[in-house]
Amino acid sequence: MLDKNGIAKRIAREIKDGYYVNLGIGIPTLVANYIPENIDVVLQSENGLLGMGPFPFEGDEDPDLINAGKQTITMLPGAAIFDSAMSFGMIRAKKVNLTILGAMEVSENGDIANWKIPGKMVKGMGGAMDLVASAENIIVAMQHVNKAGESKLLPQCTLPLTGISCVKKIVTELAVLDVLPEGGFKLLERAPGVSVEEIKKATAGKLIIEGDIPEMTI
Amino acid sequence: MNKVVKDADEAIHDIADGMTLMIGGFGMCGLPEKCIAALVKKGVKELTCISNNAGLDDFGIGLMLNQRQVKKMISSYVGENVEFERQLLSGELEVELIPQGTLATRCMAAGYGMPAIFTPAGIGTEVAIGKEVRNFNGKDYLMEMAFDADFAIVKAWKGDTMGNLIFNATARNFNAVMAMAGKVTIAEVEELVQPGELDPNFIHVPGIYVHRIFQGENYEKRIENRTVTKR
C-alpha cells in the first residue's frame, strides 16, 4: 500500500519531458517533489504563474508570491506572471499538458466530484471546474476508499459533480487505473503488497481486469 | 488626468448600501486592505461582493462579513473562513460559487466590452442550471454574462497619478482583470509616482480604466500559508 508520498511518486512518472503541468491542492502538490531531474517541466499555478519553484528559505517568504493553495513559493528562472483571466485562458486553450488533482469520487465514465458535500462542507470549486472541463490529460490522486470505508470509485458519483467524462487515470494507495472511454476502471498496476482481491473489494464501479496485474515500481 | 484622491476614505466615499463591488486579490495576496478597512469603518451594508475568496475571519472581506455588511458573495473558493460558513449555512448570507476561470473571464469580458463569454467550465454540473448551453465544434459551452459592478477595488504595486498600474508577482491575479471591469475603479498602490516614471512598456493596466488612485501606508500583507524550505 502506498502512502501519500508514494502516490505522488507514482504520478510523477506520468510527467513527460516538455510538459506544462498544473498541480492541485493536497497530494498533487507533493508530486512536484518527485519530478525526475532529467526532464524539463514547467509548473503552472492558476493564480497566475508559470515556472513555480520550491518553497522559499525561511526569511525569504514574499506575501506577493504564492501558489493556488496560498502557500509561499518561489519562481524559477524563466518564470512568467500573468493575471487570472490569462491563466484560465491558457487552461481553456489546452496549453497545459497535464492536470493532477484530488477527488472525493470518480465514476466509471470519468465524472469527478471534488468540491461540495451538500449541507456540510462549503468551500467552492476554485479552478477545478475550469481545469477538468478543458484539460485533455487529467490524473486523479486520491485514496481508494473514504474515511467511512466506502469506495470512491463508483458506478456513478453521488456528490455534486465538478465535471463529466474527463478523468483519464487514477492513482490511489492501492492501484493505478485507467478510466476507459467506453466506461469502466481498467486495473493497470497494484501497489506493493496489495492483491487484486483487495482492489476488487475497494472498487464499487465496474473494474476491468485483464491478465496478470503487475505490482508497480516506484 | 489626475486621478489622485487623498486616501481610502475619500476613494470609497460614494459607495452606498446595496451596491455591487469587485474586490481584487487571491486569498490575502494583493488584497486592497486599505479600502476594505475604509468600507468596514463606513459601515455600508447590503453589498454584493465579487471576489475570488471571502477572506479570513480576522482579515480581508471577513472583516466586512463580521459586521454583516455583505448580502451576497460571488466567489470561487471560500474554505478559509468559519464565520462565512456559519452565515451561509444559516441562510444569512447569499453565496454564488462559480468556477475561478469563469469568475476571471466574466471580469475580463466587462473590461473588454463583451456582454458574455462561452466556457466549458460547469457543463453537466449544478453551475449549468438555468444557463444557455451552446455547442461549438461538437463541444458544449455555457454562456456566462459579463459582470456589472458599480465599483472595482484593486491593489497594485506601483501606479502613477494618471492611473497606470503595475502589479508585483502573483499579486496581479484578479486585480488586473477587475481593474478593467468596474464602472468606477479604485486602485490603492504601495507607491504612487508621477507620469513618466513608469516605463510604458511595462504597464499592466492602462490608466484609462482607473478612476481613483491613492497610496496606502503600512501594508500588512498577511501570509495565509507560510511554507518554507529548511536551509
Burial of B214 (0-12, 13-18, 19+ CB in 10 A): buried
Contact A192, A162 (CB under 8 A): no
A131 against A217, higher pLDDT: A131
Contact B19, B72 (CB under 8 A): no
Q: Which residues of A touch B225 (CB under 8 A)?
A: 66, 69-72
Tens-digit pLDDT profile for residues A100-152? 999 999 999 999 999 988 877 678 999 999 999 999 999 999 999 999 999 99
Residue type, A1: M
Say which DSSP state A116 is in: B
Whole-number Å distance between alpha carbons of A31 and A6: 9
Whole-number Å distance between alpha carbons of B195 and B213: 13
Q: Which residue positions in chain B have pLDDT lower than 50?
A: none
pLDDT at res. A14: 96
Contact B169, B157 (CB under 8 A): no
B78-116: buried (b, 16+ CB within 10 Å) or exposed (e) per residue? Answer: bebbebbbebbeeeebebebbbbbbbbbbbbbbbeeeee
In a domain, B192, yes or no: yes
Q: Is the ipTM of this complex over 0.90?
A: yes
Q: Which residues of B touch A123 (CB under 8 A)?
A: 77-79
Burial of A182 (0-12, 13-18, 19+ CB in 10 A): exposed
Burial of B164 (0-12, 13-18, 19+ CB in 10 A): buried
In the residue annotation, A46 being an active-site residue is answered as yes
> If residue A115 lies in a helix (H) or strand (E), which one and from where to where?
none
In a domain, B33, yes or no: yes
* A45: nearest Cα among A56, A35, A36, A54: A54
CA B26, B30, B33, B35 torsion: positive or negative?
negative
Considering only CB atoms, A124 lies closest to which of B28, B77, B230, namely B77
Task: Pick the residue of B73, B83, B125 with the most A CBs within 10 A to test the interface with A by mutation.
Answer: B125
Torsion from C-alpha of B12, A123, B169, A135, nearest 10 degrees = -130
CB contact under 8 A, B99 and A129: yes
Domain that residue B67 falls in: 8-215
Considering only CB atoms, A61 lies closest to which of B171, B174, B223, namely B223
B 17-56 residues with CB < 8 A to A: 26-30, 52
In chain A, % of residues over pLDDT 70: 100
Instruction: Tell me which chain A residue has its CA closest to the CA of residue B100.
Output: A127
CB neighbours of A153 closer than 8 A, spacing ≥ 6? A105, A106, A108, A144, A170, A172, A177, A185, A202, A203, A204, A205, A207
A 16-75 residues with CB < 8 A to B: 45-49, 54-58, 60-67, 69-73, 75
Q: Which residues of B touch A70 (CB under 8 A)?
A: 26-29, 80, 224-225
Considering only CB atoms, B177 lies closest to which of A63, A84, A126, namely A84
pLDDT at res. B212: 98
Angle subtended at Cα A130 by Cα A121 and Cα B64, rounded to the nearest 5 degrees: 50
In a domain, B222, yes or no: no
Q: Which residues of B touch A112 (CB under 8 A)?
A: none
In chain A, % of residues over pLDDT 90: 93
List the catalytic residue out of A14, A37, A46, A58.
A46
Task: Pick the residue of A33, A83, A88, A101 with the most B CBs within 10 A to test the interface with B by mutation.
Answer: A83
* DSSP H helix total and E strand total for chain A: 5, 13
Cell of A149: 470505508
Instruction: Tell me which chain A residue has its CA closest to the CA of residue B111.
Output: A85
B228: closest CA of chain A, how far (Å) = 5
In a domain, B186, yes or no: yes
Give alpha helix (H) positions in chain B. Answer: 8-11, 33-42, 61-66, 82-89, 100-112, 173-179
Looking up cell 528559505, which residue turns up?
A57
Contact B183, B149 (CB under 8 A): yes
In a domain, B224, yes or no: no
Considering only CB atoms, B171 lies closest to which of A64, A127, A162, namely A64
Task: Pick the residue of A66, A161, A164 with the most B CBs within 10 A to test the interface with B by mutation.
Answer: A66
Average confidence (pLDDT) over A180-195: 97
pLDDT at res. A121: 62
In a domain, B226, yes or no: no
In a domain, B1, yes or no: no
Whole-number Å distance between alpha carbons of B199 and B81: 39
In a domain, B44, yes or no: yes
Instruction: Tell me which chain A residue has its CA closest to the CA of residue B120.
Output: A133
Instruction: Tell me which chain B residue has its CA closest to the CA of residue A120.
Output: B89
CATH of the domain at B40: 3.40.1080.10
Angle subtended at Cα B167 by Cα B29 and Cα A130, rounded to the nearest 5 degrees: 60
B194-209: buried (b, 16+ CB within 10 Å) or exposed (e) per residue? Answer: eeeebeeeebbbebeb
A 107-126 residues with CB < 8 A to B: 111, 119, 121-126
Burial of A66 (0-12, 13-18, 19+ CB in 10 A): buried
Question: How many structural domains does chain B have?
Answer: 1
Looking up cell 519531458, which residue turns up?
A17
Give alpha helix (H) positions in B13-166. Answer: 33-42, 61-66, 82-89, 100-112
pLDDT at res. A26: 86
